[in-house]
């Protein structure tokens, strides 16, 4: 049995996922949702998608009656995730939603509740949760090979271009670098340390207030504290290139990933040597694994469900609050 996927929002990332799915053995692109008729035609030609599986945002709710689609994969700008996920759930389809799952924890909770009510599963497009070198570090940590984990550092950023893009529009992005790229450090801190943080502190710096308007963060440094004293120190920015690095330090050893979350091969080493797990296109592995979760009830080593997405949103809310108040914010995740 193959997972039949409809992609919603045919932009840059949807193109990447569609390409990658061509190499999947358990997932297949069978439908599309787009507001642009010319894109629908192009995608139909490229991927052989029948007319009856093509939807606009006006006709989308009729997907309810389409037996050829198991899951809707939402890859629209951040601010639209909430409504699109709730609509897909109401149509009785499982939903995969891109990161960040929503703009804040309140929206995230509503999405989880809507999916629960509809009896469908909600997954978040956390592709790193299936990446082999990342999973090897997680395995080593679980097996105690680093000893007690003491410290994590996550550096995530790139220099963003076109000032008119939705990523720099507060209404569509919900914020700035933290929503888009800093979330990798937040999420990474949790799966690398293997625990949930209990407090955050955060500081924002802005060098270009014209490009990065009110509510759109350029650079935020934040710290996460874990129950047993482990600390994470992270940087999220839209103003520096070559910033894609995770470092985990424990009493008996370390792990270093650089690049740590980019699409290309992840590279890394630990105190025991180079990580040599072969690279596979992240989105291909992700979609095959998500097929296993949705169709066969498989449990991933690192969760990708709505509750996982919500925890990152709760941390994002707390980081913005810490920036605003200059104070430490306590976390109660879940």
- Residues carrying an active site annotation: 99, 184
Least distance CB 245 / ligand NAD (angstroms)? 17
The reply to whether 166 sits near ligand NAD by the rule CB under 6 A is yes
Q: Which stretch binds ligand NAD (CB under 6 A): 65-73, 74-82, 113-121, 320-328?
A: 74-82
Least distance CB 48 / ligand NAD (angstroms)? 20
Least distance CB 157 / ligand NAD (angstroms)? 14
Identify the residue among 107, 131, 180, 312 touching ligand NAD (CB under 6 A). Answer: 180
Residues 76, 7: contact at Cβ < 8 Å?
no
- Residue 180, CA distances (Å) to 68, 232, 242 in order: 32, 19, 16
Least distance CB 237 / ligand NAD (angstroms)? 16
Closest CA to 310 of 121, 154, 111: 111
The reply to whether 13 sits near ligand NAD by the rule CB under 6 A is yes
Closer to ligand NAD by CB, 73 or 146: give it: 73
The reply to whether 199 sits near ligand NAD by the rule CB under 6 A is no
The reply to whether 80 sits near ligand NAD by the rule CB under 6 A is yes
Least distance CB 87 / ligand NAD (angstroms)? 12
Closer to ligand NAD by CB, 80 or 140: give it: 80
Closer to ligand NAD by CB, 34 or 230: give it: 34
Closer to ligand NAD by CB, 16 or 211: give it: 16
The reply to whether 9 sits near ligand NAD by the rule CB under 6 A is yes
Identify the residue among 125, 157, 174, 176 touching ligand NAD (CB under 6 A). Answer: 125
The reply to whether 188 sits near ligand NAD by the rule CB under 6 A is no
Residues binding ligand NAD (CB under 6 A): 9-14, 35, 75-78, 80, 98-99, 125, 127, 166, 180
């Amino acid at each position: 049995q193959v997972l039949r996927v409809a992609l919603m929002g045919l932009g840059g990332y949807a193109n990447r996922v569609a390409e990658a799915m061509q190499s999947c053995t358990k997932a297949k692109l069978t439908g599309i949702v787009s507001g642009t008729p010319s894109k629908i035609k192009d995608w139909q030609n490229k991927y052989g998608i029948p007319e009856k599986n093509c939807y606009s945002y006006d006709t989308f709710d009729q997907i309810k009656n389409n037996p050829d689609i198991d899951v809707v994969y939402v890859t629209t700008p951040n601010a639209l995730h909430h409504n699109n996920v709730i609509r897909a759930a109401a149509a009785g389809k499982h939903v995969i939603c891109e990161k960040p799952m929503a703009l804040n924890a309140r929206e995230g909770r509503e999405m989880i509740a809507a999916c629960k009510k509809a009896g469908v599963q909600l997954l978040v497009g956390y592709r790193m949760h299936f990446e082999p070198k990342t999973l090897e570090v997680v395995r080593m940590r679980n097996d105690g090979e680093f000893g007690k984990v003491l410290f994590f550092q996550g550096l995530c950023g790139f220099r963003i271009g076109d000032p008119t893009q939705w990523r720099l529009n507060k209404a569509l992005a919900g914020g700035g670098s933290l929503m888009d790229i800093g979330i990798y450090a937040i999420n990474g801190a949790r799966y690398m340390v293997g625990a949930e943080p209990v407090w955050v502190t955060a500081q924002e710096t802005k060098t270009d207030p014209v490009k990065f308007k009110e509510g759109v963060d350029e650079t935020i440094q934040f710290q996460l504290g874990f129950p047993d004293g482990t600390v994470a120190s992270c940087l999220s920015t839209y103003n520096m290139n070559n910033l894609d690095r995770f470092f985990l330090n424990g009493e008996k050893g370390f792990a270093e990933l650089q690049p740590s979350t980019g699409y290309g091969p992840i590279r890394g080493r630990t105190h025991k040597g180079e990580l040599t797990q072969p690279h596979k296109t992240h989105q291909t592995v992700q979609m095959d694994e998500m097929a296993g979760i949705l169709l066969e009830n498989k449990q991933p080593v690192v969760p990708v469900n709505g509750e996982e997405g919500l925890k990152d949103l709760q941390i994002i809310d707390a980081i913005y609050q810490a920036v605003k108040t200059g104070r430490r914010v306590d976390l109660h995740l879940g």
